Structure 1
Amino acid sequence: MRHETDLPQPAPVRWSTWLLLAGLAALVVGSFASLPLKWRDFFSSEAMASTLDFLHGFAPPELSPGFLSKVGVATFETLAMSAIGTVIAAVLGFVLALPASGRLGPVARNLTRGVLNVLRSIPELVWASILLIAAGLGPFAGTLALAFHTVGVLGRLFADAFENCPPLPAATLRINGVQPTAAFLYATVPQCSPQMMSYTLYRWENNIRAAAILGVVGAGGLGQMLKYHLSLFQMQQAATVIVAMLLMVASVDGLSYLLRRAMTR
């Protein structure tokens, strides 16, 4: 019979952990103290009445056939931007993940990870603003903006997946005389492919939302329609565009969920 003294005791919490928690708590308190949060004004009856009056202008949505056809074209444009941008990013991210995972030496690893850090640290809106100057208005600049930012994200995730992949299958092939490239393609990539595909699908979901926002700076799609109608205070047309965005995002989220479940079975 085991005594209580025989049970494993929890590890003591180090002082650095308490110091980190105290620092985080101080940051939270300082953030609330420094921001001019006017909760009373936000929940006042006047603010509520103004908000309800503003939302009332969105009803009913515009449902004329001509306008719905324009929304359908813009929806397809947004989907195409996100899909093409994600595919380009997945291909380039896979290529950059090879040196970023340390397979070509530490120098190549550090340089490539530096490039990936720069690519993903610049938001899509900033990329779109820069590329609109070179590529002009339209979905081409938006697609490139999504691709540039997503390359940095997927490249880092793919590189981490390669680094964390169990080395035994590839090492077994190498011991039996298989070339390093073949061992990587037949052992490492198949092990990492479900995780990489999951990352790619997740980023596609994010790029759907980002593509809808990039139109605000003139990159085409539903975002450009939304900005146009809101700037003219055409709230009913804007409501139709917003509903199309919600339906599109919900559909892509459901499709991505089904694909991820199918891959994990």
Structure 2
Amino acid sequence: MKPVHHMKAASQPLRLPARPRDSGLPGWLFATLLLALVAASFLSLDLQWAQFLSRDAMERMGGFLAEFYPPELGTIFLRKVAVGAWETLAMSALGTLLASLAGLALALPAARLHGQDRARARGACRLLLNALRSIPELVWAALLLISAGLGPFAGTLALALHTTGVLGRLFAEALENAPPGPAAALRLQGVGEGRILLWATLPQVLPQLLSYALYRWENNIRAATVLGVVGAGGLGQLLSFHLGLFHMPRTATLLLAMLALVLLVDTGSLLTRRLLTR
């Protein structure tokens, strides 16, 4: 015969632990605020949909697009397009490479690598990264054209400066979110911080860092094209020249070259990221 207190304990219903309070913003409230912001944006802008979708606007747009056909396919002009495409590709690749190196150099002091890391330069480095990426590439190019002159050099530096701010912040976040186990194990063995970074932290986040750099390279292809409009070389400079003179067939060829270049880089970057994440 079981003791009475055992029978009482068995007869009492099991109580689930109290659900912890969620101190964050409720999902429904966030969605409501977001929808209100979108609605306010539509109301505050002068969006003339009736004029945009009118028959007269459609006819004028169709006539303008018809001027692009057929594209210019002359040998001499295609050689200029090939040179411009190569300049755009080289600007984006070199700018992204310089930004990756500079971003990693700034991300190390901008990240708190472990709980006891004082990270004295964290605030200053993050402020510098914010300043670099808050200035658009076009503004950097306009400033650098004064000192570096017209051509791809100013465009490359403009891409590098802006992208350094972007990649530096992403790299710092990746370093701070790295799994702490391997680094903590080495730290308990008395290994120095430099060796811990090289053998524990960086190997874990390297695929993520490379993925960030490749994605920014895709964006910099488009940005390098835009920078050419202000005289930084590449396809953008040719586009600005011929579009300003209303050479529509040549403009069509340049647009097709830009599309092909972006698709080529996007495909190569996508395949590379898949190989890195296997």
Q: Classify 1:236/1:10 alpha carbon distance in 2 versus 1 (closer, same or farther; 3 Å).
A: farther
Structure 1 residue 79 corresponds to structure 2 residue 80: no
- Give the equivalent residue in structure 1 for 2:73: 63
- Give the equivalent residue in structure 2 for 1:89: 99
**Aligned partners of 2:109 and 2:122 also within 8 Å:** yes
- Give the equivalent residue in structure 2 for 1:176: 189
Q: Classify 1:254/1:28 alpha carbon distance in 2 versus 1 (closer, same or farther; 3 Å).
A: same
1:194 partner letter: P
Structure 1 residue 261 corresponds to structure 2 residue 271: no
Q: Classify 1:15/1:140 alpha carbon distance in 2 versus 1 (closer, same or farther; 3 Å).
A: closer
**Aligned partners of 1:102 and 1:108 also within 8 Å:** no
- Give the equivalent residue in structure 2 for 1:137: 150
1:197 Cα deviation after fit: 0.2
- Give the equivalent residue in structure 2 for 1:116: 129
- Give the equivalent residue in structure 1 for 2:238: 225
**Aligned partners of 1:78 and 1:220 also within 8 Å:** yes
Q: Secondary structure at the match of 2:121?
A: helix
| Separation in structure 1 between the aligned mates of residue 104 and residue 185 of structure 2, nearest angstrom | 24
**Under a length normalisation based on structure 2, what TM-score does the superposition of the two structures give?**
0.88
Structure 1 residue 206 corresponds to structure 2 residue 219: yes
Moved more, 31-40 or 90-99: 31-40
1:23 Cα deviation after fit: 3.1
| Separation in structure 1 between the aligned mates of residue 178 and residue 24 of structure 2, nearest angstrom | 33
- Give the equivalent residue in structure 2 for 1:150: 163
Q: Classify 1:9/1:256 alpha carbon distance in 2 versus 1 (closer, same or farther; 3 Å).
A: farther
1:172 Cα deviation after fit: 1.4
Q: Secondary structure at the match of 1:76?
A: helix
Corresponding residue pairs, total: 261
| Separation in structure 2 between the aligned mates of residue 153 and residue 10 of structure 1, nearest angstrom | 39
Unpaired runs of at least 5, structure 1: 1-5
- Give the equivalent residue in structure 2 for 1:99: 109
**Aligned partners of 1:81 and 1:139 also within 8 Å:** yes
Q: Secondary structure at the match of 1:107?
A: coil
**Aligned partners of 1:97 and 1:158 also within 8 Å:** yes
| Separation in structure 2 between the aligned mates of residue 232 and residue 244 of structure 1, nearest angstrom | 19
| Separation in structure 1 between the aligned mates of residue 19 and residue 241 of structure 2, nearest angstrom | 60
Structure ranking higher in helix proportion? 1
Unpaired runs of at least 5, structure 2: 1-14
1:120 partner letter: R
Moved more, 179-188 or 238-247: 179-188
1:12 Cα deviation after fit: 8.8
**Under a length normalisation based on structure 1, what TM-score does the superposition of the two structures give?**
0.93
Larger radius of gyration: 2
2:99 partner letter: A
**Aligned partners of 1:84 and 1:143 also within 8 Å:** yes
Structure 1 residue 28 corresponds to structure 2 residue 38: yes
